[in-house]
Structure formats: C-alpha cells, structure tokens
Amino acid sequence: MSSVSHAAVSIPLRRAQPWLTTAARVALAVVLGWAGLAKISSPAMSVLSVRAYQVLPEGAATVVGYGLPFLELALAALLLAGLGTRLAAVSGAVLFTVFIAGIASVWARGLSIDCGCFGGGGQVDPEDTRYLQEILRDIGFLALAAWVAVWPRSRFALDGAVNGAVNGAVNGAANGDDGGGPGTTTDDDSEGER
Amino acid sequence: MSKAARRSARERLREEQRRQAERQRRRRRLLLIVAPIAVIVLVVGAGVAVQALRNRGSEFEGRTPPATLLDNGSIKLAAQGATASTPVIDVYEDFQCPACKEFERINGGRLKELAAERKAVVVYHPVAIIDERSIRSGSAARCAADAGKFIEYHDILYGNQPPEAGGQGFTAEDLKRYGAQAGLKGEKFAQCVESVRYRQEVLQRTQQISTRYQQQTGQGFSTPTVYLNDQPLDSGVLFSADAFDNAVQEATKEEKK
C-alpha cells in the first residue's frame, strides 16, 4: 500500500524536478547577478561594506570587496548556463551560509550596518538595521541553492548537453543523479550496439 | 573461425566499447568540474585586478583656493570668479568615520581641484554621527577654521584617523598635536580644542542635516553625505571618481542651460 502511494507521489515529482531545478537555477542566477552588478560599480564602497562587518583584516577585506561581486557574477553565469550546476550551487550555498553567519555575527556584536548584499552597505542608524529580514532572505536563497545542489539535473542546461551523449549509456550518473530524466538524456544506447 | 571464437571476439569488442564509453564519461565529468572552476578563478582574478586599478585615489597638487568661514560655522572653498551658477557641493563629514576618509581618499583631491578651477563651490560641514570622538574632532576642525587653517587641519585629521572600533579615537592631545602640525601652536587653539568649544554647533548642525536628509530621502542620515546643488548624491557616486566627475559635469551643463 505504502509503495503504491510513494510511487504516485514520486512520479510526478520526478517529472517536475528538472523543471523545478531549472526555475531555481534561474532564480539564483538573477539574485546573484543582481547582487554582483549592484556592487561592481564602486570597488571602494564594496570594500567599505566588507570592512563594516569588522571581521576580516584590512588586506583580506579589500580582496573580498574587489572579488566578491565577480564571484557572484561568475556563479550567476554558471547557474544560468547550467554548466557545472552542482558545483556552482554548492559554491552558492557556501556563500549564502557565510553571509548568514556574517550578518548573525554583526547582529550579535551589536554593530549597526547595512548588509551591503545588493550594493550599499556600511554603517546605518541602529533603528535602520534589517538583520532578521536579511537572514531570512538569505535562508531562502540557501534553500534554493541546496535544492539545485541535491538535484542538479535540469532542463536547458549545458551539463545536459555535455553529458547527454553518454547519459543514457551510464544511467545519468555523470550528474550525480540517479537515472537520467526525460529531456536531459539523449538515447545513446544505439552507439554501443553499432 | 569457430563459433566460440567469434563470440569471444564480439565480447571483446563490446568490452572495449564499454571501456571507451567509461573513459568518455570520466572525461566529461572532469570537464564539468574543471570548466566551472576555471570560469570562477578567471572571472574573480580579472575582477580583483580591474577593481584595484579602478580604486585609485585622487590627489590635487595645485593651490587650494581660499577657504571662508561662513556664519553657520561651515567652511566654503571657492576660487575667485565662481558665480551663482557654479555648482555647489556640500560635504557633511565626520572625521572619525572611515567612509568619510574613503570619500576623501577618492574624491577629496578632486573637490579641491574643482574649487580651484572654478568648476564648483565646495562647502564642508563637520558633523558628528558616531560619538564623543566625532564631536571632539569636529569641534577642533572648527577651531582650526577660526585660525584660517581648516583645510590643512582637515587633511591632517583624515591622514591620522584612528580606528573606529576600540581605542580612544582622537584625544585632545592628538587634536592639539595635529594643530601644531598645521601651524596652530597658540594657546587660543589649545583652549578651543580642550573645551570642545563648538560642541553645540556641531551637534546642532548634525541634527539639522539629519532631519532634512530624512525628510528628503526617507532614509537615515549617515556620513559622508554630499549634496550637489541641494540634491543628495548616491553612495555609488560618492565612492567612484568617475561617477562623481560625471555627476558634477551634468550639474554644470544643467546650470548653463
């Protein structure tokens, strides 16, 4: 009985999963791309907003301030293209975890800053801090990244194109997923039979 | 060839094909790890280099135009020949605030240059948003303005800004010593600094601009805040030499229309 209901639930979910992952990929790409672009125009401000966390030493804060927007953009591009989806999603998840930890630490230390997540940043009035919202928002993004990392197989992904030729033959294992789904696998068994 | 031999040949062939497929699969799997890592490393590396190049400060080697002490205690920097249509840049700064120091590093030299070239009138307004350390330094800068040494003192303060976290910040001793560096060696300046004579003026100014800024933008006041022709500039403009230049040029064009 239970196996029947399990199958009834999981088959539509299996069908939907590549689409859901594609949607999550695009959503994450938009978020990361937006965050990266917002910070790129002013390297000085980007460094200031990293410094405002008072976590990293001067030199490291500068490198992070310069590099972070580009890391976000690179991850956004990879997720959008669906290239190295799992790796990009895991990196994104790590990034969001670091952001959450940073904001929580600032909150705990009683500093008053803007997280600088989408540009801006630096000191603000204590009544203008938005730590809870910022953390909840990042937890949402973390959940999206985790979904993509766990189920990286998706539609419209370069991974699929790269793996496609062998996916059928090796049962989709290249993407770390069990079984190639519809669309991502091109039936390549014939190659082995020729 | 016997039947058995044919079968084993076929099996060998299949085995070889399977191996080949396995090799190909590994190669592609590797590609899907190496390619994204390469993308990330290249993009971030290039980005850090580009941002480091873009983040250079501005210096002004020429002669700074005369500074005038205004009635409200603010300090105006204007070259002779500046007219009513010259763009006005109001700088609200706190000498203890790291972001103000950063603004000064990026656009401080440019401000003097704009004033010297009659492209702008620059007005400095010392305010205090952090704490007592800001009040002490803001008031001391005002003392320096009494003696006509505001700009010199202003530059020395930023050059010696103590860390915001921890520490005593600018002490009275520091502030007097910096005064001496600017040529303010008299008793009058020392007393002015020690008594924090302009405490009320600095606090009042801070209060006024906070209220105004809040009403205008709906956001909390922070430093540095810079107005260009009475319009507050975005921080994205403040901390970028190019964006700041463009904004001033736009304002100049508008004035001329």
Cis peptide before B224 (omega within 30 of 0): yes
Residues from chain B that touch A122, judged by Cβ atoms under 8 A, are 99, 222, 235
Residues B48 and B174 in one domain: no
Which residues does chain B have within 8 Å of residue A63's beta carbon, measured at their own beta carbons? 48
The size of the A-B interface in CB pairs under 8 A is 128
Q: Is the CB of B219 inside 8 Å of chain A's CB atoms?
A: yes
* Residue in B closest to A81 by C-alpha: B36
Same domain, B121 and B219: yes
Q: Are residues B144 and B232 in the same domain?
A: yes
Give the DSSP letter string of chain B: --HHHHHHHHHHHHHHHHHHHHHHHHHHHHHHHHHHHHHHHHHHHHHHHHHHHHT------SPPPPEEE-TTS-EEE--TT--TTS-EEEEEE-TT-HHHHHHIIIIIHHHHHHHHTTS-EEEEEE---S-HHHHHHHHHHHHHHHTT-HHHHHHHHHHTPPPSSSS--S-HHHHHHHHHHTT--SHHHHHHHHTTTTHHHHHHHHHHHHHHHHHHHSS---SSEEEETTEEPPHHHHT-HHHHHHHHHHHHHHHH-
**CA B68/CA B184 separation, integer angstroms:** 17
pLDDT tier, A9 (very low <50, low <70, confident <90, very high otherwise): low
* Contact flag B43-A74 (C-beta cutoff 8 Å): yes
- Per-residue pLDDT at A178: 39
pLDDT, tens digit, 9 for 90 and up, residues B83-109: 888 999 999 999 999 889 999 999 999
Q: In what order do the strands lie in the sheet with B67-69?
A: B67-69, B75-77, B121-126, B88-93, B225-228, B231-232
CB B157 within 8 A of CB B178: yes
Q: Which residue of A has its CA nearest to B38?
A: A74
Asked whether the beta carbons of residue A83 and residue B239 sit closer than 8 angstroms, the reply is no
The 10s digit of each residue's pLDDT in B110-161 is 999 999 999 999 999 999 988 888 999 999 999 999 999 999 999 999 999 9
Every domain of chain A and the residues it spans? 17-154
Query: Is the pLDDT at A124 greater than 90, yes or no?
Result: no
Residues B6 and B114 in one domain: no
Please name which of A87, A136, A62 lies closest in space to residue B41, comparing C-alpha atoms: A87
pLDDT grade for A192, boundaries at 50, 70 and 90: very low
Cα within 13 Å of Cα(A97), Cβ side: 8
Q: What is the mean pLDDT of residues A1-15?
A: 62
Confidence of residue A177 (pLDDT cuts 50, 70, 90): very low
B238: exposed, middle or buried (Cβ count in 10 Å: 0-12, 13-18, 19+)? buried
CB A68 within 8 A of CB A50: yes
Which residues of chain B make contact with A126, given a CB cutoff of 8 A? none
For A63, which residue in chain B has the nearest alpha carbon? B48
Give the pLDDT confidence score for residue B58 in this predicted structure: 81
Q: B88 and B33 share a domain?
A: no
Domain check: are B160 and B246 in the same one? yes
Are B90 and B185 contained in the same domain? yes
Q: How many domains does chain B have?
A: 2
ipTM of this complex: 0.78
pLDDT in tens, B221-254: 888 999 999 999 988 889 888 889 999 999 987 7
pLDDT band at B61 (very low <50, low <70, confident <90, very high): confident
Q: What is the mean pLDDT of residues A166-181?
A: 40
Assess whether B243 and B146 both reside in one domain. yes
How far apart are the CA of A140 and the nearest CA of chain B, in angstroms? 24
Contact B97 A123 (CB under 8 A): yes
The pLDDT of residue B45 is 97
CATH number of the domain to which B201 belongs:
3.40.30.10
Judge if B85 and B45 occupy the same domain.
Answer: no
The identity of residue B210, as a single letter, is S
Q: What is the average pLDDT value for chain A, to the nearest integer?
A: 82
**Nearest to residue B159, comparing CAs of B149, B174, B144, B147?**
B174
Parent domain of B33: 1-54
Put simply, the answer to whether A87 touches B106 (Cβ < 8 Å) is no
pTM: 0.73
**Inter-chain touch B36–A163, beta carbons under 8 Å:** no
